[in-house]
Chain A
Amino acid sequence: MTDLRDLYQEVILDHNKSPHNYREMPDATRLALGNNPLCGDKLKLYVRVEGDRIADVAFQGSGCAISKASASLMTDAVKGKSLAEAEELYGKFHDLLTGPPDVKADGAGLGKLAVFSGVREFPVRVKCATLAWHTLESALKNSHEVAKTE
């Protein structure tokens, strides 16, 4: 049976307490809002795109530990990456979280993001972990829509 520690791992708790890149970005070129109305997670994502690279990324907002830690780790993972690389990471992360329960979670190529593999056992929390990434997707596609995970 899955343990709570599989969800609230040390890394996640640390990033919740002291999230990386938690600031405003006046020179952002992209902005997107993310919202999980059912649980009260709200996210504002700032991205500065230079050419085809994510030069800087930051976020603000309030939300549960999973959503905050996910946003924090995401900013670390995509900073400096190309748009295509970020897209690929999104796909891998999404698969990690939503893969079938009988297939072992594969964290290869995800670095620190693999720490979210435990979320798969807590289906109610998957939306919290993916909110930041949906919001990033929205920011990069510049769709001006508020990303929602509902």
Chain B
Amino acid sequence: MSAVTKTTPEARVHPYDVEGIRAEFPILSRSVHGKPLVYLDNANTTQKPRAVIDAIRRYYEEENANIHRGTHWLSEKATEAYEGGRAKVARFLGAASPKEIIFTRGTTEAINLVASGFARDFLKAGDEVLITGLEHHSNIVPWQLACERTGAKLVVVPITDEGEVPIDEFERRLTARTKLAAVSHVSNALGTVNPVKAFVALAHARGVPILVDGAQAAPHLPIDVVDLDCDFYAISGHKMYGPTGIGALYGTEEWLEKLPPYQGGGDMISSVTFEKTTYNVLPWKFEAGTANIAGGIGFGVAADWLSGVGLPAVAAHEHDLLVHATRQLSAIRGLTIVGRAKEKAAVISFVLDNVHPHDIGTILDREGIAIRTGHHCAQPVMDRFGLPATARASFGLYNTRAEVDALAAAIEKVREVFG
């Protein structure tokens, strides 16, 4: 397979044209309860630009066929499009080769793939798996299952009151028994950006491989897996303006060769007899059954589209929103922002005195504003702060300052209703 060329699609010319970007998202012009939609639940899932929607429709209208197994023109076209999607995702992540990109259902499945392989071949009783107190359930439970199965122990790096993972605390917990570390790049619940490059260096200094959960990082900051030097990096299509039901696991060729197959079935094999079955080469060794072909295609288009907007420009725009929102929300009586890391993505988790997050969510919904309330699939984070739930506004590249103002006004309205 040819190496990935380093040329990325041309980033758009500055200044950041948020209205032009919004115009590319059909759903953003709709109303909810008679009010214009203010979509601030991007950490949950993002909306899709026309380019992605059209690519998927076009695939089904003009090029749909099964891949890797046909000798007819349509199947050739479909295969090209799907593998083309893989190459785009490889380029997006800065991977050395598309064969290091495994398409999965999402970040959750990507992590389960690694955890399952580790449980089978690399973990034994007494070994340790290191994670942090910031993790999403999808970067906790697969490791709990792996530890349960093997008798290995899950070690958790505690977080500070600001919602940060101190580097020295991480280092302290890397022992001679640590077989793998798994950390999030960006916290979905609090927005904390972790110093993953430092974590990777520390882990590698002790010969410990490291998996990075990049689901919340991919839409917000440029990623270069070779520069990070991580062994695994997992992302989801739907969190980065791509379709649902598709994600990717980046793994170094070395590690992907070492890991056993995850699911068995068609496509991941080389030859099958009842006596012995041999497996396919990378990446297909880890892709059993008919893939989410349309998803892979849409995912690639989303990756290119996002690169076209330019992650540095996106990060700058969202940082401005974060600063503006933090200022506005901090001024609201009785409001406390949870998670005040020095480096944050545009996510604000907050609580309001005497008002349950669920009630905040309902009142905001009536104003057309979509946020998430609850534990955000991060119950340990909520427990750490002694909270049953928080309200979370998470911004995306199409949100505006006016929308931040609308959020603040709506929270004031909550104050009015509840006193």
Q: CB < 8 Å: which of B33, B388, B417 contacts A8?
A: B417
Question: Using an 8 Å CB-CB cutoff, how does the interface string of B378-416 with A read, 1 for contact, 0 for none?
Answer: 000010000011000000000000000000000000000
B374 touches A122 (CB 8 A): no
Q: How far is the CB of A55 from chain B (nearest CB, A)?
A: 30
Question: Using an 8 Å CB-CB cutoff, how does the interface string of A56-82 with B read, 1 for contact, 0 for none?
Answer: 000000111110000000000000000
CB-CB nearest in chain A for B34 = A1
Cβ-based interface call for A110 (8 A):
no
Q: How far is the CB of B338 from chain A (nearest CB, A)?
A: 13
Q: With A and B bound together, what is the CA distance between A129 and B363 in angstroms?
A: 16
Closest 8 CB pairs of A and B: A40-B389, A40-B388, A64-B358, A64-B356, A39-B358, A65-B359, A4-B366, A64-B359
Do A4 and B417 contact each other (CB < 8 Å), given the known contacts A40-B388, A122-B362? yes
Q: CB < 8 Å: which of A8, A40, A66 contacts B374?
A: A40
- The A-contacting residues of B in range 180-216, CB under 8 angstroms, are none
Cβ-based interface call for A96 (8 A):
no
Most A-side CB within 10 Å, residue of B356, B373, B375: B356
Cβ-based interface call for B357 (8 A):
yes
Do A65 and B418 contact each other (CB < 8 Å), given the known contacts A7-B362, A40-B358, A41-B358? yes
Q: How far is the CB of A124 from chain B (nearest CB, A)?
A: 7
Q: How far is the CB of B4 from chain A (nearest CB, A)?
A: 41
Cβ-based interface call for A28 (8 A):
no
Q: How far is the CB of B350 from chain A (nearest CB, A)?
A: 14
Residues of B within 8 A of A122 (CB): 362
Question: Using an 8 Å CB-CB cutoff, how does the interface string of A1-18 with B read, 1 for contact, 0 for none?
Answer: 100100110000100110
Q: With A and B bound together, what is the CA distance between A66 and B388 in angstroms?
A: 16
A38 touches B374 (CB 8 A): yes
- The B-contacting residues of A in range 77-115, CB under 8 angstroms, are none
Most A-side CB within 10 Å, residue of B366, B373, B382, B388: B388
Cβ-based interface call for A125 (8 A):
yes
B357 touches A4 (CB 8 A): no
CB-CB nearest in chain A for B357 = A40
**Total count of chain A residues near the partner, CB < 8 A:** 22
Q: CB < 8 Å: which of A1, A17, A124, A125 contacts B419?
A: A17
A1 touches B33 (CB 8 A): yes
Q: CB < 8 Å: which of B356, B373, B375, B382 contacts A65?
A: B356
Most B-side CB within 10 Å, residue of A1, A8, A17: A8
Q: With A and B bound together, what is the CA distance between A7 and B374 in angstroms?
A: 20
A63 touches B417 (CB 8 A): no
**Total count of chain B residues near the partner, CB < 8 A:** 20
Residues of A within 8 A of B373 (CB): 39-40
Q: How far is the CB of A34 from chain B (nearest CB, A)?
A: 13
A40 touches B366 (CB 8 A): no
Q: With A and B bound together, what is the CA distance between A16 and B356 in angstroms?
A: 10
Q: With A and B bound together, what is the CA distance between A4 and B354 in angstroms?
A: 18
CB-CB nearest in chain A for B365 = A124
Q: With A and B bound together, what is the CA distance between A4 and B375 in angstroms?
A: 24
Residues of B within 8 A of A139 (CB): none
Do A4 and B363 contact each other (CB < 8 Å), given the known contacts A13-B418, A42-B388, A65-B418? yes
A–B Cβ pairs within 8 angstroms, 15 of them:
A1-B33, A8-B417, A13-B418, A17-B354, A39-B389, A40-B358, A40-B373, A40-B374, A40-B382, A40-B389, A42-B388, A63-B356, A65-B355, A65-B356, A65-B359
CB-CB nearest in chain B for A65 = B359
CB-CB nearest in chain B for A7 = B362
Q: With A and B bound together, what is the CA distance between A39 and B362 in angstroms?
A: 12
Most B-side CB within 10 Å, residue of A1, A38, A39, A122: A39
Do A125 and B34 contact each other (CB < 8 Å), given the known contacts A40-B375, A40-B389? no
Q: With A and B bound together, what is the CA distance between A65 and B419 in angstroms?
A: 13
Q: With A and B bound together, what is the CA distance between A140 and B70 in angstroms?
A: 63
